Structures are given as C-alpha cells and as structure tokens.
Amino acid sequence: MHFTLQPGGNLKGEARVPGDKSISHRAIMLGALAEGTSRVNGFLEGEDALATLAAFRAMGVQIEGPVDGCVTVHGVGLHGLRAPDQPLDLGNAGTGMRLLCGLLAGQPFDTELTGDASLCSRPMGRVIEPLTRMGARIESAAGGRPPLAIRGGQRLRGIHYDLPMASAQVKSCCLLAGLYSEGETSVTEPAPTRDHTERMLRGFGYPVQSVNGEISLQGGGSLVACDIEVPADISSATFFLVGASIAPGSDLLLSHVGINPTRIGVINILQLMGADISLQNQREVGGEPVADIRVRYAPLHGVEIPADQVPLAIDEFPALFIAAACAQGRTVLHGAEELRVKESDRIAAMAAGLTTLGVRNTVLDDGIVIEGGPMGAGTIHTYNDHRIAMSFAIAALRAEGEITVRDCGHVATSFPGFDVLARRLGLRISAVAD
C-alpha cells in the first residue's frame, strides 16, 4: 500500500487516536502472569500488540477478544506458562520481542523468538548482555539479531545493571527477568525513560522501588489480576499535534491522551518551538495520567533540542523532524543514537525523505540538523517503517506539490485506520493498494 497526498489543507475537529502501544503490550504480558482475570479496555488492535497477544495464547493463556478494544486475560500466574509448539513470531514488534526475552529467560522450557525481515535485522544485544549476566542462555543470529533461542531451566540471579543508554525496553526486560531471579534486580538509568512497566507492576500488586534513577524489585513475588484502562497513544497523537501546529487555520482536540511525564517530550519540544498546545481535563485513569489536548496553528521556530527531552520523545522524532522542516531557522538534535536501531535507521530515513522534498539537513552520528524552509513534492520511501510513513503524510499539509509515500503497509502495526481518521480531520490523503 502507498499513500498519495495532495498539498495544503488543515486539521480541525475532535478525535481519539488508538490506544497506547507500550501499555497494550504490557497489559497482555502482566495480565497473563497474574493470578486471576484481568480486563483491558482501550487495547490497541494494531499488528504489534496483536502479535504479543498471539504469543501468550501460544503459551497456553486463555485470552478473549479483542472486541472494540476490550480484552479479557485469564492469568496463569508467574509459573503457569506452557512451552509453545513452534517459534513465537512477533512480526514487527520490537517491544514485544525485547520484553519477552526477559520473561522467557526465567521459564522452565525452551523458546524461539522470530519476526519479520525488519525485526530480524534489529540488534538484540542490548537485552542479551544483561540477561546473560543474570544467568540466561540466549543464542542469536550474527550480530545479536533474531531469531533468538532462549534456553529454559536456567537459574537466574538478580544483578545491578547500569544502562549504557536510556532505554525503557532494556530496563523493562531486566525488571521482568527479575521477577524470576533470586534476590534483588536493579537498573540505573542515565536519564528518565517511560515508566509504564513500573507503574503497571505496582498496579498488579508487585512492589517496585524507584529512587534517584534506580529502579529495583525482589524476585519471587506474585501478581494479582486487575482491570486496565489504556489511554490513547501520545505517539499516535503526535502526528496530529505536529500537523495542526504547522498548518494555518488548524484547531484540533485530541481526547483521552496519555500524558505520562516520561512520554511528554514531544509536547515540551513543540511548545519550546512555539506551538499552541494546551492540556485540558487532566485526570488519572488506571494509574496513568491522561488529558484532552488542544492544538492550534502557530508559527514555529527552530531550537536546539534539550538533552533531557531526547529519551522522553524518542519515538516521536520522525514527526518532530517535519515540525523542524516547517519552522523558521535551524533545529539541532544530539544524543539520539537509538533512532538508528528502530524499525529503520530513522535518522537516515528521515534525512533522505527531507532531502527529496528539498529540505536542507545535515546528518550527525547521534542526530541531525534541519534547516526550516519550503517543502516541495516527491516520492518518499519509508523502509517499511510506520512512523516514517505517517510523518511524511503529515508533511503534505505544508508541501508545495503532491507527495507519494511508498511502503505504508506497516502503518497498521501501531495505527490501524490512520488514513481514514486523517482524511476526516482534513488531510488530503488517499490509500492505494500496490
């Protein structure tokens, strides 16, 4: 599938984007390991989260749904999973694979994790290294890439691990392995990252300590089933936050969006650039802060992105690059090496697309420099990365000619129905089967 986009337009109205992908993954995982029945509302019915759901079904967990975002998980307890009959295929779900590595390292049975060509090109050494120190045995393809063979029956021991770079996935992997380890497992972050795992573990009754950047738990406990309300995903909302910020005449309200303080870097950065964004009806739902977000067009200016905001917006940078391209002046990003090992090398992929549209940019080892200016027309290659596809779709609001965005099938991994919602709000988008 590819998107064809006519230039111009603006975004108006009210919408609720799909549920948070990070929370949806974790809700299935912890619900499966809990004692009792957990009910999840707002579950993201995208391909990534559905791959995680299918993996736990393959390990003997009874799961009903999803139906209109509602899922019922009949937990089997920390030690109730069964060996799957075949390798667990995570599709394109990097979060699912990295977190499952931690959970499966402590099981009594062998498992193999695989995925699509994109996922099998992504390095998993960042989770293999600490898990091996804990006593896990994990075999990988060359370069620490999937498929991964995880040997069961290993005796895990708690360790302290200093994260070499801020990564919620690596932190979460270690903590989930810590559930099966002897003694205490602790992780120190060089900068705050999303804390959904810690929040949800506490919601399931498992004590987790967080003090001065060190997160720790004791092995050998248990999880108690609970109900979970998944807020709308701020990563999905980001495309419309940027779109409304750059398109004159826009006035948009996005409802029930998660505003976890470890995820709002995109709002902070856009406001620093001059965006007109306000949070309304702030409240807490299921242990996660949410709000309705109103965004109206305002002229943006280039900034040097603060280092402390980088890990808080790591998944939102492709869209932020579009905001930078539409801003007056220069935007500079450093400290974002992790963007190179996402579904694509997002620095290189975005730079190539911006160059196609005539936006001047300079690629750095750990980031990019973008000079704001007019955007032309052209054909964009997404490298099968859903966030690249949606970011360049939003760019059409300020483009001077038609944009074709190729290889958009993976948009369904995180945002099923993106084109339909975007068209309703004012984007001039057509989805065409290849």
Specify the pLDDT at position 287. Answer: 80
Instruction: Tell me the per-residue pLDDT of 278-301, one tens digit each, with 9 for 90 and over.
Output: 999 999 887 899 999 999 999 999
Which residues share a beta bridge with 188? 162, 214
Q: What is the mean pLDDT of residues 328-333?
A: 98
The reply to whether 126 and 175 lie within a common domain is yes
pLDDT-derived band at 241 (thresholds 50, 70, 90) equals: very high
Tokens at residue 171, please? 């932190």
Give the pLDDT confidence score for residue 176 in this predicted structure: 98
User: Do 315 and 199 share a structural domain?
Assistant: no
| 8 A C-beta contact, residue 359 and residue 322 | no
Mean pLDDT over residues 415-428, rounded?
A: 96
Binned at pLDDT 50, 70 and 90, residue 166 comes out as confident
Last residue of a domain, one of 183, 208, 229: 229
Residues 238 and 225 in one domain: no
Question: What mean pLDDT do residues 101-106 have?
Answer: 97
**What pLDDT does residue 40 have?**
97
Residues 275 and 349 in one domain: yes
Tell me if residue 295 falls in helix, strand or coil. strand
**φ/ψ (deg, to 5) at 417:** 80, 15
Q: Are residues 413 and 298 in the same domain?
A: yes
Q: Are 414 and 48 in contact (CB under 8 A)?
A: yes
Confidence at residue 413, expressed as pLDDT on a 0 to 100 scale: 86
Residue 342: pLDDT band (50, 70, 90) is: confident
- Percent of the chain beyond pLDDT 70? 100
Q: Is there a single domain that holds both residue 299 and residue 158? A: no
Beta strands 228-229 and 276-285 are unpaired
pLDDT of residue 147: 97
CATH number of the CATH domain containing 389: 3.65.10.10
Angle (CA) 290 294 299, round 5°: 135
Q: Are residues 107 and 204 in the same domain?
A: yes
The C-alpha torsion from 81 through 84 and 90 to 93, rounded to 10°, is 10
Are 224 and 341 part of one and the same domain?
Answer: no
Burial annotation 335-353 (CB, 10 A radius, 16+ → b, else e): bbebbebbbbbbbebbbbb
What is the average pLDDT across 254-271?
A: 96
| Same domain flag for 185 and 272 | no
**65 with 167, same domain?**
yes
DSSP structure class, residue 151: E
Q: What is the mean pLDDT of residues 298-327?
A: 96
Answer yes or no: do 173 and 210 share one domain: yes
Domain count, the chain: 2
For residue 136, which of 102, 94, 172, 163 has the smallest C-alpha distance?
102
pLDDT in tens, 44-98: 999 999 999 999 999 999 999 999 999 999 999 999 999 999 999 999 999 999 9
Using the 3D structure, point to which of 176, 201, 229 is the last residue of a domain.
Answer: 229
The residue from 229, 261, 290 where one domain ends is 229
Which residue, 167, 157, 113, 109, is CA-closest to 136?
157
Please state the rounded mean pLDDT for residues 218-238: 96
In this structure, are residues 160 and 247 in contact, taking their beta carbons and an 8 Å threshold?
A: no
Q: What is the mean pLDDT of the chain?
A: 96
DSSP 43-78: ---SHHHHHHHHHHHHTT-EEEEEETTEEEEEEE-T
Q: What residues act catalytically?
A: 315
- Which range of residues forms the domain containing residue 369? 2-19+232-432
Q: Are residues 253 and 112 in the same domain?
A: no
